[in-house]
Amino acid sequence: MFNNLTERLSGVIKTLRGEARLTESNIQEALREVRIALIEADVALPAIKVFIEQVKQRAIGHEVLGKLSPGQAFIGVVHEELMAIMGGDKADINLNVAPPAVILMAGLQGAGKTTSSGKLAKWLMEQKKKKVLLVSCDIYRPAAIEQLALLAEQTGADFFPVKTGQQPAEISTAALDFARKHHHDVVIVDTAGRLGIDEAMMQEISQLEQLLNPVETLFVVDAMQGQDAVNTARAFAEVLPLTGVILTKLDGDARGGAALSVRHITGKPIKFAGVAEKLTGLEPFYPDRMASRILGMGDVLGLIEEAQRTTDQQEAERLMKKMKSGKGFDLNDFQQQFQQMKKMGGMSAMLDKLPHQLSQAAQNMNVDEKVINRTEGIINSMTPQERAKPEIIKASRKRRIAAGSGASVQEVNRLLTQFEQARKMMKMMNKGGMAKMMRAVKG
């Protein structure tokens, strides 16, 4: 995400090298670079115009203090303005009504409404301890209703069953009754995808809005659509009183422009970002962290939060101890580490949050998701006993494991050798410390 934008913006500092302070004439070049970066990222033109003007105003005459170089001072201003254009402060989800709080989901087909409904249910249950009911008003696509029912099952949220022939308005009222009766805190209402120009469908959702009186009407929009996304958001905002936006598929090959334009063009804050297909792939949207990520400074806070959210603390400590002593560390532990990484959104999601240079370095070192998945596949094909005692894996077991994971026997061998080396290292570190290990490596 944002790779191109990040690269371009990190080049801007260079244009100001050797300057003593920021002036109208010496920031011209830097501003031009920023403008090109934003155009390439598909940021809406009116947003770019305001952005550049703001940066210019604030950068000129900006005292360059202490250790900051003029380039760094300029980037500091860009950082603050990036934050500002994304809304400045984080916009929290509003649940401040007498329960049930209704959240209405709107957007184009394929934007990620149903998936986001499921993710949001999970997030509200885990982070806010809410009892959530999922409701689908997409009577036009039975598969969409089934998809939501499945998501409810996976997340543990309740699901409101729809009877055939029921209309969206009828479903909504019945679901509200049901939620009141069963003391749900939140009702998430998923709707059919529709185009802003489809008057009948827009009228339908407008009626639903009036009927449900939602505390949040969220526009779900696919970040990969760039400026188009922003234009559809505007069309919806004209008909529906939107309270916020969920920007999905930020993990895709998105140039990131939508994140920077949506707030400016619609006046509505981005409340959540979809960052992976899986159910944990929804994050509250923090303009400051996003600005840091765009500038290649990473989102280390986000990474730590994610680790805390997904890690079992006791388990982590137990594993740390094993790794330190090298005793009892086996392939079962290895497997667990892979699972933990997956919970955190996989390698690419983690790299995405690291400062630009670090994540580049990791990519250069070939920390490749495919290789990781393959390794995990091999480990998963072993029996727990084999994982606990890798030395029992002889030729016939190797053949079975290879066949089970679609790998070759050589790959299984390689994994076992690597694991054995890692275990030796751990033991050595424990016994003789770093010096002994270095000697062993050299020898």
Q: Is 100 in the site for ligand GDP (CB under 6 A)?
A: no
Q: Name the residue among 90, 91, 85, 92 with its Cα closest to residue 294.
A: 85
CB–CB of 91/285 below 8 Å? yes
Query: In the stretch 103-142, what mask flags binding to ligand GDP with x, by CB under 6 A?
Result: ----x-xxxxxxx---------------------------
CB–CB of 287/86 below 8 Å? yes
Report the amino acid identity of residue 158: D
Q: Is 248 in the site for ligand GDP (CB under 6 A)?
A: yes
Pick between residue 224 and residue 429 the one whose CB is nearest to ligand GDP. 224
- φ and ψ at 219, to 5 degrees? -90, 120
Quote the radius of gyration of the chain (alpha carbons, Å): 26
Interface residue with ligand GDP, options 193, 256, 269, 298 (CB under 6 A): 193
CA 136 to CA 73: how far, in whole Å?
50
Pick between residue 99 and residue 252 the one whose CB is nearest to ligand GDP. 252
Name the residue number minimizing CB distance to ligand GDP.
274
Pick between residue 12 and residue 260 the one whose CB is nearest to ligand GDP. 260
Q: In 250-334, which ranges are E strands?
A: 270-274, 282-284
Angle at 163 between CA 159 and CA 166, to 5 degrees: 110
Smallest gap from Cβ 224 to ligand GDP, in A, equals 9
122 is in an annotated binding site: no
Which parts of 311-350 interact with ligand GDP (CB under 6 A)? none
Q: Report helix, strand or coil for 44.
A: coil
Pick between residue 240 and residue 426 the one whose CB is nearest to ligand GDP. 240
5 is in an annotated binding site: no
Q: In 25-110, which ranges are E strands?
A: 101-107
Q: Is 229 in the site for ligand GDP (CB under 6 A)?
A: no
CA 218 to CA 236: how far, in whole Å?
10
Smallest gap from Cβ 121 to ligand GDP, in A, equals 13
Beta strand 282-284 with 270-274 is antiparallel
Smallest gap from Cβ 109 to ligand GDP, in A, equals 5
Interface stretch with ligand GDP, choices 124-132, 249-257, 314-322, 381-389 (CB under 6 A): 249-257
Binding residues for ligand GDP, rule: CB under 6 A, are 107, 109-115, 193, 248-249, 251-252, 274-277, 281
